[in-house]
Chains A and B, each alone.
Chain A
């Protein structure tokens, strides 16, 4: 897949305040640094398999900034960026990728559903949550995230149809990064753009340059305002690219050329916003260097917390399998304790 210039909404940088742009810029740097550190932790045996997002920062951070605190996110396994912006502590995300059950738990008041691993399965959930918000008369919207490959799954189509039929306050936010693991978009679908699919469900479709954070922010803001007005769902296709592999267990050089990756890096979302900020006279290379150092402290502190977390207590295997543990499971738990001890902190 080659970078595209096509977009429907103009990235009108004049409309957003310097403060907002600076905030979003700092968040993109934080997310990129978080991501790079996570990959490094995996490579050095301190984190499990991890799904990197580098290259998709504008799509995720821009989306996150256009939402309100009480809105719902239904993420895939690659939504670390938008999750951080929406209030998920980085430490929690690290714990998730270390196979820890605590890693699925957002803080109180943060409406982020646990990561859905099976593809597209979370999109109907977003639709349902939006339905509930509508029924309760709350001014709340839900965002269902998915990738390009997920548009091939039945759950996506069923969710789009429900969203349209019930005119729900939901945004179905697709980051088209060009690949479903190794399979390029051209083998995923016979249409040129994913946004075309929205028409089949009577859902408004918007296609944006996902590496232009202003375009993403404006598209999501527009969709969110529309949803809150009661004017129904929007499907957003944010065209972007993942620089790295699908996960740390994947090797992307097996299925695409380095030149393609480099071509996308020339459209880097962070570089683009930095250029704008420097042109506006509100940012400098010195400030930039200082900011990268600042976020390193934040990410390091999250890593320290993750590493200081005591080993998982073995009872966690059984806790929360039901509200009240059935007797058979109580017996299994007791046998487990007998065989393996309590785990947890020494």
Chain B
């Protein structure tokens, strides 16, 4: 098996999909000749041609809006939004159309597309290149939201998302793009959407995270172990729909929960997870669910980004609060 970064695993997943299914096309700004600004589509236009890996005009609403039409008329578009923080012009197309086509047409039409977007901060990029607005989309019924944290899941979840009959927003943790390599199987395999993964079992407290924050949570768990705490770390992998079963099972075991995300705390996905926990595991709780998140300010310019996103220290602080309630 080849060892790949998350970025290479995504390119590999796209290649598999483009090879297997003639309906699949990749479209977006700079995805063709340039191979994407992060090189996620590197080499694909050369292999599959400019009609299947398409440089579009610079227009996010146009990219997603035309993908709706492509999908409705039988194609399997994989549009790329260059940075998640550039998705706002396409909000209307996603919220008012992509997410509603199935219901609006009462099943007569559907909108199978995978919107890929690099996501999160931490690479000293300019403003709006580090936003984490996933909660806007988790809040919108009709579209699924997926975020891998490692190369194996990145490829498997991507191929599952492409197979999915509904629109999927696929968030790629850009700080982790080239951070580490793992073995990734050749060819097709999938990782089921809607299933979380207990990455590190533990008995004292459950930490829920995804994407870049999963790695930070593991780092915090390691530090906690030095203090004698056995932390369970759960990678949610899919943010919509949430894997309520795995979340509840973990909290029923540990009795304490910490949710971690880069996005601002208030009305973030962490709030929904806290609600799932009180719905499903209320009587097992030994402490309130702690949220360790970005502060309730706009994502700052990069001179302040290191104290904006949670780090291991802040997660440990949250773990301490959960343990010492």
Contacts and interface: CB of A to CB of B under 8 A. Distances in A.
Interface in A113-152: 115, 117-119, 149-150, 152
A336 B295 contact: yes
A187 B126 contact: no
Max chain A C-beta neighbours (<10 A), residue from B37, B61, B266, B297: B297
Given A182-B30, A336-B295, A339-B313, A153 B301 contact: no
Nearest to B293: A332
B58 to A, nearest CB: 4
B88 interface: yes
Interface in A304-339: 311-312, 314, 316-318, 321, 328-329, 332-333, 336, 339
A187 B30 contact: no
Contacts of A321: 296-298
B35 interface: yes
Contacts of B33: 182-183, 254-255
A314 B304 contact: yes
B57 A189 contact: yes
A77 interface: yes
A48 B34 CA distance: 22
A49 B125 contact: yes
Given A99-B305, A149-B58, A117 B297 contact: no
A155 B92 CA distance: 14
A249 interface: yes
Interface in B239-271: 265-266
B51 interface: no
A181 B30 contact: yes
Interface residues of B, number: 41
A119 B304 contact: no
A97 B296 CA distance: 24
B37 A250 contact: yes
A101 interface: yes
Contact of B37 (A99, A119, A181, A343): A181
Interface in B38-71: 55, 57-62
A154 interface: yes
A100 B59 CA distance: 29
Nearest to A95: B303
A317 B297 contact: yes
B304 A317 contact: yes
Contacts of B314: 339
Contacts of B284: none
B225 interface: no
A99 B58 contact: no
A332 B295 contact: yes
Given A49-B125, A250-B37, A182 B55 contact: yes
A99 B297 contact: no
A96 B126 CA distance: 9
A180 interface: yes
A284 B270 CA distance: 67
Nearest to A313: B304
A300 interface: no
Given A117-B126, A255-B33, A339-B313, A101 B300 contact: yes
Given A314-B307, A317-B300, A321-B298, A118 B30 contact: no
B308 interface: yes
A318 B298 CA distance: 9
B301 A100 contact: yes
A332 B86 CA distance: 27
B188 interface: no
B301 A187 contact: no
B34 A150 contact: no
A152 B301 contact: no
B29 interface: yes
B89 interface: yes
B128 interface: yes
A318 B58 contact: no
B127 interface: yes
A50 to B, nearest CB: 9
B57 A255 contact: no
Interface in A203-235: none
Contact of A153 (B34, B59, B85): B59
Contacts of B89: 118, 153-155
A152 B266 contact: no
Contacts of A101: 300-301, 303-304
A83 to B, nearest CB: 16
A152 B303 contact: no
A317 B297 CA distance: 7
B100 interface: no
Contacts of A328: 266, 296
A340 B58 CA distance: 40
B160 to A, nearest CB: 30
B3 interface: no
A117 B57 contact: no
* Most chain A C-beta atoms within 10 Å of own C-beta, residue among B32, B58, B61, B298: B58
5 contacts: A97-B126, A101-B300, A182-B32, A328-B266, A336-B295
Given A152-B59, A155-B89, A311-B303, 9 more contacts: A48-B302, A99-B305, A104-B301, A181-B30, A181-B37, A182-B30, A182-B33, A317-B308, A336-B307
> Nearest 5 CB-CB pairs, A to B?
A99-B302, A182-B34, A152-B57, A149-B58, A99-B303
